[in-house]
Amino acid sequence: MAATAATNPSQLLPLELVDKCIGSRIHIVMKNDKEIVGTLLGFDDFVNMVLEDVTEFEITPEGRRITKLDQILLNGNNITMLIPGGEGPEV
Protein backbone atom coordinates (compact mmCIF):
# COMPACT_ATOMS: atom_id res chain seq x y z
CA MET A 1 0.00 0.00 0.00
CA ALA A 2 1.06 3.64 -0.14
CA ALA A 3 3.69 4.62 2.35
CA THR A 4 1.59 7.50 3.58
CA ALA A 5 -0.72 5.36 5.64
CA ALA A 6 0.07 2.68 8.18
CA THR A 7 3.81 2.75 7.87
CA ASN A 8 3.93 1.46 11.40
CA PRO A 9 3.89 -2.37 11.20
CA SER A 10 2.68 -2.75 14.77
CA GLN A 11 -0.49 -0.87 13.92
CA LEU A 12 -3.77 -2.71 13.73
CA LEU A 13 -5.53 -2.57 10.38
CA PRO A 14 -9.32 -2.35 10.69
CA LEU A 15 -10.12 -5.00 8.12
CA GLU A 16 -7.56 -7.32 9.64
CA LEU A 17 -9.40 -7.10 12.91
CA VAL A 18 -12.66 -7.94 11.17
CA ASP A 19 -10.95 -10.85 9.45
CA LYS A 20 -9.78 -12.23 12.79
CA CYS A 21 -13.35 -12.15 13.91
CA ILE A 22 -14.49 -14.62 11.26
CA GLY A 23 -16.05 -17.56 13.04
CA SER A 24 -16.95 -15.66 16.19
CA ARG A 25 -19.76 -13.45 17.31
CA ILE A 26 -19.85 -9.91 16.05
CA HIS A 27 -22.12 -6.99 16.80
CA ILE A 28 -22.85 -4.63 13.92
CA VAL A 29 -24.15 -1.12 14.55
CA MET A 30 -25.92 0.54 11.63
CA LYS A 31 -26.21 4.24 10.84
CA ASN A 32 -29.78 4.24 12.08
CA ASP A 33 -31.05 2.66 15.29
CA LYS A 34 -30.63 -0.90 14.16
CA GLU A 35 -28.08 -3.41 15.42
CA ILE A 36 -27.29 -6.91 14.29
CA VAL A 37 -25.59 -9.64 16.29
CA GLY A 38 -24.44 -12.82 14.62
CA THR A 39 -21.61 -15.18 13.81
CA LEU A 40 -19.41 -13.75 11.12
CA LEU A 41 -18.91 -16.06 8.17
CA GLY A 42 -17.21 -13.60 5.88
CA PHE A 43 -17.10 -10.20 4.25
CA ASP A 44 -15.98 -8.55 1.05
CA ASP A 45 -14.14 -5.41 -0.02
CA PHE A 46 -17.23 -3.31 0.59
CA VAL A 47 -17.70 -4.90 4.01
CA ASN A 48 -20.94 -6.49 3.00
CA MET A 49 -21.20 -9.27 5.55
CA VAL A 50 -22.46 -12.82 5.69
CA LEU A 51 -23.76 -13.66 9.14
CA GLU A 52 -25.34 -16.67 10.77
CA ASP A 53 -27.64 -17.19 13.74
CA VAL A 54 -28.60 -13.57 13.62
CA THR A 55 -30.55 -11.42 16.06
CA GLU A 56 -31.78 -8.04 14.96
CA PHE A 57 -32.26 -5.21 17.49
CA GLU A 58 -34.19 -1.99 17.19
CA ILE A 59 -32.84 0.43 19.78
CA THR A 60 -35.53 3.09 20.00
CA PRO A 61 -38.67 0.96 20.50
CA GLU A 62 -36.76 -0.77 23.30
CA GLY A 63 -36.87 -4.36 22.32
CA ARG A 64 -35.48 -7.25 20.42
CA ARG A 65 -36.98 -7.44 17.02
CA ILE A 66 -36.44 -10.62 15.05
CA THR A 67 -34.30 -13.67 15.52
CA LYS A 68 -33.27 -15.05 12.17
CA LEU A 69 -31.41 -18.26 11.56
CA ASP A 70 -29.61 -19.65 8.56
CA GLN A 71 -27.53 -17.05 6.86
CA ILE A 72 -28.04 -13.45 5.96
CA LEU A 73 -26.24 -11.10 3.66
CA LEU A 74 -25.96 -7.71 5.34
CA ASN A 75 -25.51 -4.77 2.99
CA GLY A 76 -22.42 -2.85 4.04
CA ASN A 77 -23.85 0.46 2.87
CA ASN A 78 -25.29 1.35 6.27
CA ILE A 79 -22.75 -0.19 8.61
CA THR A 80 -21.23 2.28 11.07
CA MET A 81 -19.43 0.14 13.65
CA LEU A 82 -18.34 -3.44 14.05
CA ILE A 83 -17.74 -4.85 17.52
CA PRO A 84 -15.99 -8.21 17.60
CA GLY A 85 -17.27 -10.54 20.27
CA GLY A 86 -20.10 -8.16 21.08
CA GLU A 87 -23.36 -9.51 22.35
CA GLY A 88 -25.48 -6.51 21.52
CA PRO A 89 -27.55 -4.20 23.68
CA GLU A 90 -28.62 -5.43 27.06
CA VAL A 91 -32.35 -5.28 26.52
Partner 1 sequence: MADKDKKKKESIFDLSKYIDKHIRVKFQGGREASGVLKGFDPLLNLVLDGTIEYMRDPDDQYKLTEDTRQLGLVVCRGTSVVLICPHDGMEAIPNPFIQQQDG
The sign one gets for the Cα dihedral 22, 75, 45, 5 is negative
* Shortest spacing between CB 10 and partner 1, in angstroms: 9
**Length of the chain in terms of residues written:** 91
Rounded Cα–Cα distance for residues 80 and 77 (Å): 9
Alpha-carbon distances, residue 54 vs 5, 44, 62, 89 (angstroms): 35, 19, 18, 14
Contact positions with partner 1 (CB under 8 A) in 22-81: 29-32, 47, 59, 76-77, 79-81
| CB closer to partner 1, 20 vs 69 | 20
Q: Whose Cβ is closer to partner 1: residue 67's or residue 80's?
A: 80
> Which spans of this chain sit near partner 1 (rule: CB under 8 A)?
1-2, 4-8, 11-18, 29-32, 47, 59, 76-77, 79-86, 89
